[in-house]
Structure 1
Amino acid sequence: MHFLRYTSILFAILPLFSFMLNAQQNQAQISGFVYNPDNEPALYSTVMLLNQDSVLVKGTLSTEDGSFLLENVAPGNYFVQIRNIEFQTHISAPIRMGSDERIALDPIFLSPAISQLGEVVVTADRSLIEIHPDKMVFNVSASANAAGNNGLELLGKAPGVIVDMDNNIILQGKSGVQIFINGRPSRLSGTDLANLLEGMRSDNIESIEIITNPSSRFDAEGTAGIINIIMKRNTQRGLNGNVVSSYSQGNHGRGSLGTTLNYNSGKLAFNTSISATQSDFQTDFKEVSERRGFILDMETNGLNNRKGLNISSGMDYTFNPKHSLSIDGRIFVTSRDNLSQNNTGIIDASNILPQEFLLAQTLDDIPSENYVLSTNYRFIPSSTSTLNADVSVGRYSSRKATRQPNSYFDQNMVGIRSVNSTYDADTYIDLLSTMLDYEQKFSFLTFSTGAKLSYITTDNNLRFFNIENEVPVYDISRSNDFTYEESVLAFYFMMNATPNKYLSLNAGVRMENTTSLGVLDSEIPTQDDRVSRNYNDFFPNIGISFNDQKNNVFSASVGRRITRPNYQDLNPFESKMSELQARKGNPFLNPNYITNYQLTYSFKRFLVISNTYSITRDFFANIFIIEGDKGSILSPRNMDKVTNNGLSVSMNYGPLPWWQLISFLNYNYSTYNGSIDEAIIDLKASTYNIRMQNILTIPGGIGLELTYYVNSPSVWRGSVEVDGFHGMNVGLRKNFLNRKLLVQISGNDVFGTSSQYHYKSNYGGIVTDGILSFDNQRYGFSITWNFGTQQRAQQRSRSAIDEELRRIAD
């Protein structure tokens, strides 16, 4: 069994780490924590070590928990200066540093920057968007417009992120995004990932981190990069929590109710949250499709009702400054009922009126569960080394029961025939991941190495029944059992060098061995019923950065990544989407590989300009293939090559003390080239998206958020052209009762200009023109009540999630 073999290999390298732990160096350092006036971490504050003449010696940024560390400090007299554009500059008392001395400063609390303009009072709040040279952070908890949204909708509001009409996530014009949750890969994709994200509440999400060119330390999976969703974790001392209720109304209503409880005694920190949601989603489309002398004029109205229960819990325990343990668990339980009603006119191209009508319904009942348990052990033998061990297990299950009654009528609406069917489609996915990371610092060099094993098994059962005389009859020709196993064993080595205060270099390589086996068990054997693979890949990543220590930072990087097909793409059996459309996987679908080149310039950290160029080989394209006279099959194919040349500009600027303007522009020129079966695809597309967010503090301490966005025409599924759209979101937020009560009001797509998407295509003998409509125009509110103690713990243990976040920031 691959898992046992790889596990033995993984743990066989433990003696190597034990050997490396013996090579330690003791060096002087200054550490501390920075907090804002609300006793929350003042993350990403600039920390500078100045000598007696006020000359900069060293500098760093405070981390997610407000901590900072200045290492390799020579003996002498210094003081620490801390700057943050939202607070007053802090200057410490003089510090006398001895040889090999370690100084831990008392917690530093920044003073608010308060200014008045008439009745306007400006207080420090967390920035909605944080711009860094290597990533961008969307602070969901600071957004008034996030109220009432689910996780998938929130991703669509993040800078540079688009969620297409199939719920695929596009980052800066590229598909193949790897979704992390609290620093760990979700390992789900396709509809399973969309279902998971739609079950998340915005009230439980702290921030979304966008990383377009990850280092070799991360999984090579995800050709477009990584999006890390950070769930809320309270770090305040004592017992505290909150209760949150939200509701939004469009064509249909959506509501949620949840509570969070936290306890922190210093050594032990515990948190748990429970929330329940109920949502209705409406999706309609009209489409005219012509193929082989027939025209299909289709109109579909769909309604999705979702009920969900989310439970998460975590514990951090610090045994001593060198040893800590973290355990986290999540349970997502959802129940979905879908109703889709379709009216299709079947027209001979030589006539004007339909010769036949198809009235069809699809009724789905889909309960699903997702369980994840993770544990992390962290060992810090000295100030220059760290060892992390991480184990995660999870299971995702979905049981889908579908009924599809279909009735055909002539042009006078006289019944001709009925074709009724039902089927059960059950999916079970089991996940296991084990990981070891070691980091060692030597003067201006930092070496990182590690190993990871991920193992996933998928079992997909389809049982199809034809309804004859109201009796279900099992159809062996349309039933199957598809199992898929995949294991990835990875090793990486990475080096970071800072030879001087201006220059930073990093280089790394990741080796991944992938073994997979897909087995189709059906009554009708096919030549594609068993496909196995075993392949090795190397993924180098190189970067260089220059900081003039004034206002400018230049960086360049190049890296290689991969996207592997999921079980839905590989299952060769045909499953019905409707009477005239079906989906069929491709067991010979190859993984696609991308090479990313990126140049980035940052000015004063409020302006970041990036130019990217990427080449993707064997891109996944979903295309329709004609089946019979009137039917079609949607199936994935490898497209020869896709190129993307992109320019992104991000700006976080405060024109006035009470006005913050956040602007994001992304432009991409993409080419799609490939010969797929009988279809020739040669598309070129210039696309752009613009997002401008205005955060205003108006009289009465009310926060007003206005967001305007524009998306240009784009390419969908690698072969379908989609018209552009634009829209406006608004939000209001106000704190009451000494910030114990927070009220937020939101409006999405307030003018109704981004709720319909027009698309068209012409390839492989199929000409399509359609409009897809969503229930995007919505208005909602959210109420949050905070209770319990508010005292900040001066020390905070670094849990597994904290370490993952630190790794992402590297």
Structure 2
Amino acid sequence: MKKLHIMLICFFVAYQVQAQKITVKGTVVSAEDNETLMAAAITVFNAKTDAFIHYAYADEAGNYELRIEKTAFYIKADLLGYKTYISKPINPTTSVIEHAIRMQEDRTELEEVVILQKQRTLKMSGDKMTINIERAGLGIGNDGLQTLTKLPGIRLDKDENIVFRGNSNLQILIDGKPSLFSGGDLKLFLKTLSGDNIKSVELIANPSAKYSAAGSGGILNIKLKKGVNTGLTGNIRSSVGYAEFIKNSNGLNLYHNSEKWNLNLGLNSNYNESTNHRKVVQTINEPGKTTVLEQFNDWYPKSNSYTGTFGVSYALTKNSQLGSSFNYNSYLSDAITEGKTNEIENDQFLRYTLLETSEYQKNKRLTGNLYYSFVSDSLDTKLDAQINLANYNKQGNRITSNQYYLANSNNQYQPASVIRNSNPTQVQIVNTTVDLEKKINPNFNLETGLKYSYVHNDYDLRLEDKNNAGIFVPNTNRSNHLIYKESIFAGYGIANLSRNNWNFQLGLRAEHMAYDAFSKTANTTNKDSYTSWFPSFSINRNADDNQYKFSYSKRIERPRYLNLNPFFEYIDTYNVQVGNPNLQPAFTDAFELTWVRKYKTALSVFANLTQGEMYQIVSYDEATKITTLYVDNIGKSKSIGLSFNTSFSPTDWWELQVNTEVSYAQATSTIPGYAFNESGANFYGNLSQSFRFKNDLSFTWTSFYSKNGNYGNSEFLPAYDMSFGMRKEFLNKQLILNITAQDVLKENQWRQITTQNNVSTNWTNQWETRKFTLALTYNFGAGKKKKIKSANLANEQNRL
């Protein structure tokens, strides 16, 4: 009986002790823009004695949770780059206390030194990799496209399309909002963006249902530099670079902020003169005859880009904001291509063709938006509504002349051909989005949203032949005027459940698309409508210094507007490109398992399985010796890989970042006459080193090696190179000098061999390398700047 009494007493005491425990949890965000902050140190103290009670760290979603004795307490939060947060005393009345922490940026001189020394170039957070472009100096002297090529796993293919993990179907965001265009127009857009104005880039390999389902290759989110002060502040910068030709970039950014109003003004200009050396060797094996076509082309583009941005926002209340922003860009370019094609049969040099192309382009783009955002005091309710507009106008023409000569006599064996291409294009885009996030209780929250977008694309492709009288005559068989209209209505819902150190997210997105493509030239219509469902889920486990995450999402790659146009584009005598109005979207199931150790080492296993793979077909006609390029749905593909990223510091002044990736890719084609089933292994490695010394002097050294194996009917040869940079700060860190030398080995090039049936094509694209840049930036003013949201138009414009 005595033992029973003792057991009951012990149980009662244990119960009372347990009953006195409470849970303290919440989210840590930036007070400036409500973005979640990870890795903040949360410490709880006794409100009466200031005695330490317990501590925790915010996870990658900014959430923290800890268990303490039931007593009056206060919370302290610390994070590099932010002022220390201390709450008022809290007297718990329930077993669960939820407390939101808003941290303010700290830009004092002392803190700035600490941040410069300890802020990492690369940061892993779940399935998101963030690269600090400003810290690494990757944007200096580069445009936006060149800057992206410096990121881990990012390359350009032979046509300058961005490739990540072997996939060129990427969604590009600017400050979390979809940007403009893809294909050729995306390249132009990124070239108008100055790399000096990019703060960081996020690589999101497996997005949730909140993001548009477009982009089977993931998302690149480009974050631009923002102001940090009140009053009138800003910066002015200028850079000059030289490789084979000169380049220059200049920019001015002004910020004027007050308690209620925030104004941003930016003016940027870029001049770029560059070159691309292309060599294409095509070998055709026929019974009793082997034909070799050797093409050597040198492309010399000159471009001027001018960009103006303006943004204004007004704080309606402490919780709500109304704002608008506008961006105007003008891009002018002139390009000359000089080429020679040798025609060899059975090792005998028979004929050659001289190519000369002159091209002029003038592009104008105006985007604007109006937005409203609301965040409650407790952070349990967030509302964001936005309407976006864009107008895009493209003018230009290209004149291509070919002259045909016999190799033995250098006499012309047929009259020269001169063809003029022009494609005036006008695009209007409007979309509206509404996103709502509601925390039901401390462990459960819901997200939902709607989006409607409309695109009107007027694409007029005109091809003219020069007759014997020297007059350009329209070629009606190869011209096409297409009016393309498209509307997409989308909605999504996401449920998040947190339990102890676990987080579960389940999402579903639905998109209904309808399009109408009317050819005014042929008087034909191609239209369709369909609804697609895109599920996603993730499981996240946080255990002290270790994070584990498994995620899945379904993605879609829609055909670009141009590829749906039954156009005919003359490249040269031996190459043409045509459209395919029957092209269908491709769907991808994407999986990823990630482990992150102490926020600096990450190991990921990923897999992408695609049905209806869109692939560029290279079709050769033996009779005419013409190669026709077009895009078609070949069948299916898969990619399975492993990536490893880490950083470490051998000394206080030396830091290394290592990024590697190994993958296996396979593509299968079921197209009659173009069938294949090929696979191969790929490897990418990147080593970045930074050296920090006294007197605000630092150096960087980056190098990479890339080797892709077979994919489909193509093999990719290795590429490698290294770059160096120096940074020196003057005048109390207001004046910054950067000197860089990029791709000094001149081995950063694209080399691809495509083999189909009896035709082998060997491509080599060598862009301008070994570039040296000198850049100066002067920061003026002091206080606090705020950012204003940009137009959200990415998905529609990505397919122009």
Structural RMSD (CA): 3.2
Matched, 1:372 2:370: no
Contact 1:28 1:102 in 2 (8 A): yes
Matched, 1:570 2:546: no
Shift of residue 34 of structure 1? Answer: 7.4
* 1:337 match: 334
- 2:295 maps to a residue whose letter is M
Q: Which of 382, 385, 409 is the equivalent residue of 2:405?
A: 409
Q: Which of 420, 423, 426 is the equivalent residue of 1:425?
A: 423
**CA 616–104 in structure 1, closer or farther in 2 if over 3 Å, else same:** closer
Aligned counterparts of 2:586 and 2:481: Cα–Cα separation in 1? 26
* 2:18 match: none
Shift of residue 251 of structure 1? Answer: 0.7
3-state SS of the aligned residue for 1:192?
A: helix
Shift of residue 317 of structure 1? Answer: 1.2
**CA 267–715 in structure 1, closer or farther in 2 if over 3 Å, else same:** farther
Matched, 1:655 2:650: yes
Aligned counterparts of 2:585 and 2:662: Cα–Cα separation in 1? 26
**CA 87–735 in structure 1, closer or farther in 2 if over 3 Å, else same:** same
Contact 1:659 1:694 in 2 (8 A): yes
Matched, 1:666 2:658: no
The Cα offsets for residues 548-592 of structure 1, whole Å up to 9 and x where unpaired, read as 1x2111111111110100112111121111122111111111111
- Matches for 1:144-223 after TM superposition, within 5 Å: 144-223=137-216
Contact 2:319 2:374 in 1 (8 A): yes
* 1:9 match: none
Shift of residue 419 of structure 1? Answer: 0.9
* 1:696 match: 691
3-state SS of the aligned residue for 1:613?
A: strand
- 2:688 maps to a residue whose letter is Q
The Cα offsets for residues 616-664 of structure 1, whole Å up to 9 and x where unpaired, read as 1111111211244211110011121111101111112223221221111
* 2:317 match: 320
**CA 29–235 in structure 1, closer or farther in 2 if over 3 Å, else same:** farther
Contact 1:649 1:664 in 2 (8 A): yes
Shift of residue 220 of structure 1? Answer: 0.5
Contact 2:82 2:103 in 1 (8 A): no
Shift of residue 158 of structure 1? Answer: 1.4
**CA 236–579 in structure 1, closer or farther in 2 if over 3 Å, else same:** same
- Unaligned runs of 5+ residues in structure 1 are 1-26, 806-810
- 2:395 maps to a residue whose letter is R
3-state SS of the aligned residue for 2:147?
A: helix
Q: Which of 615, 622, 640 is the equivalent residue of 1:621?
A: 615
Contact 2:327 2:368 in 1 (8 A): yes
- 1:394 maps to a residue whose letter is A
**CA 101–249 in structure 1, closer or farther in 2 if over 3 Å, else same:** closer
3-state SS of the aligned residue for 2:149?
A: helix
**CA 692–106 in structure 1, closer or farther in 2 if over 3 Å, else same:** closer
* 1:392 match: 388
The Cα offsets for residues 682-715 of structure 1, whole Å up to 9 and x where unpaired, read as 2211111111111110243211111011111345
Matched, 1:286 2:279: yes
* 2:300 match: 303
TM (norm. structure 1) is 0.87
**CA 369–620 in structure 1, closer or farther in 2 if over 3 Å, else same:** same
Q: Which moved more, 1:333-342 or 1:376-385?
A: 376-385
Aligned counterparts of 1:110 and 1:363: Cα–Cα separation in 2? 51
- 2:403 maps to a residue whose letter is S
* 2:15 match: none
Aligned counterparts of 2:57 and 2:306: Cα–Cα separation in 1? 45
Aligned counterparts of 1:715 and 1:189: Cα–Cα separation in 2? 25
Q: Which moved more, 1:707-716 or 1:562-571?
A: 707-716
Shift of residue 167 of structure 1? Answer: 1.8
Matched, 1:686 2:684: no
Contact 1:570 1:587 in 2 (8 A): yes
- 1:499 maps to a residue whose letter is R
Q: Which moved more, 1:71-80 or 1:278-287?
A: 71-80
Aligned counterparts of 2:304 and 2:44: Cα–Cα separation in 1? 56
Q: Which of 535, 538, 547 is the equivalent residue of 1:543?
A: 538
TM (norm. structure 2) is 0.88
**CA 787–91 in structure 1, closer or farther in 2 if over 3 Å, else same:** closer
Contact 1:143 1:705 in 2 (8 A): yes
- Matches for 1:518-537 after TM superposition, within 5 Å: 518-522=517-521, 529-537=524-532
Shift of residue 520 of structure 1? Answer: 2.2
Matched, 1:724 2:723: no
Contact 1:338 1:364 in 2 (8 A): yes
- 2:381 maps to a residue whose letter is S
Q: Which moved more, 1:303-312 or 1:626-635?
A: 626-635
- 1:216 maps to a residue whose letter is A
Contact 2:228 2:783 in 1 (8 A): no
The Cα offsets for residues 347-371 of structure 1, whole Å up to 9 and x where unpaired, read as 33x3x23322211111110111121
Structure with greater Cα Rg: 2
- 2:634 maps to a residue whose letter is M
* 2:16 match: none
Shift of residue 83 of structure 1? Answer: 4.9
**CA 223–105 in structure 1, closer or farther in 2 if over 3 Å, else same:** closer
3-state SS of the aligned residue for 1:373?
A: strand
Matched, 1:451 2:447: no
**CA 266–104 in structure 1, closer or farther in 2 if over 3 Å, else same:** farther
Aligned counterparts of 1:156 and 1:30: Cα–Cα separation in 2? 38
Shift of residue 260 of structure 1? Answer: 0.7
Shift of residue 104 of structure 1? Answer: 7.4
- Matches for 1:710-789 after TM superposition, within 5 Å: 710-714=705-709, 718-754=712-748, 756-788=749-781
Shift of residue 777 of structure 1? Answer: 1.6
**CA 307–125 in structure 1, closer or farther in 2 if over 3 Å, else same:** farther
* 2:14 match: none
* Percent of matched pairs sharing the same residue: 22
Matched, 1:791 2:746: no
Matched, 1:645 2:640: yes
Shift of residue 108 of structure 1? Answer: 7.9
**CA 302–620 in structure 1, closer or farther in 2 if over 3 Å, else same:** same
Shift of residue 485 of structure 1? Answer: 1.8
The Cα offsets for residues 100-156 of structure 1, whole Å up to 9 and x where unpaired, read as 8978789585999999xxxx9995364222221131111222122421111111111
3-state SS of the aligned residue for 1:203?
A: helix
Shift of residue 172 of structure 1? Answer: 2.2
- Matches for 1:590-601 after TM superposition, within 5 Å: 590-601=584-595
Aligned counterparts of 2:721 and 2:293: Cα–Cα separation in 1? 32
Shift of residue 81 of structure 1? Answer: 4.5
3-state SS of the aligned residue for 1:215?
A: coil
Shift of residue 729 of structure 1? Answer: 0.8
**CA 532–109 in structure 1, closer or farther in 2 if over 3 Å, else same:** closer
Contact 2:399 2:420 in 1 (8 A): yes
- 1:625 maps to a residue whose letter is S
- Unaligned runs of 5+ residues in structure 2 are 1-22, 795-800
* 2:240 match: 247
Contact 1:661 1:695 in 2 (8 A): yes
Shift of residue 613 of structure 1? Answer: 1.2
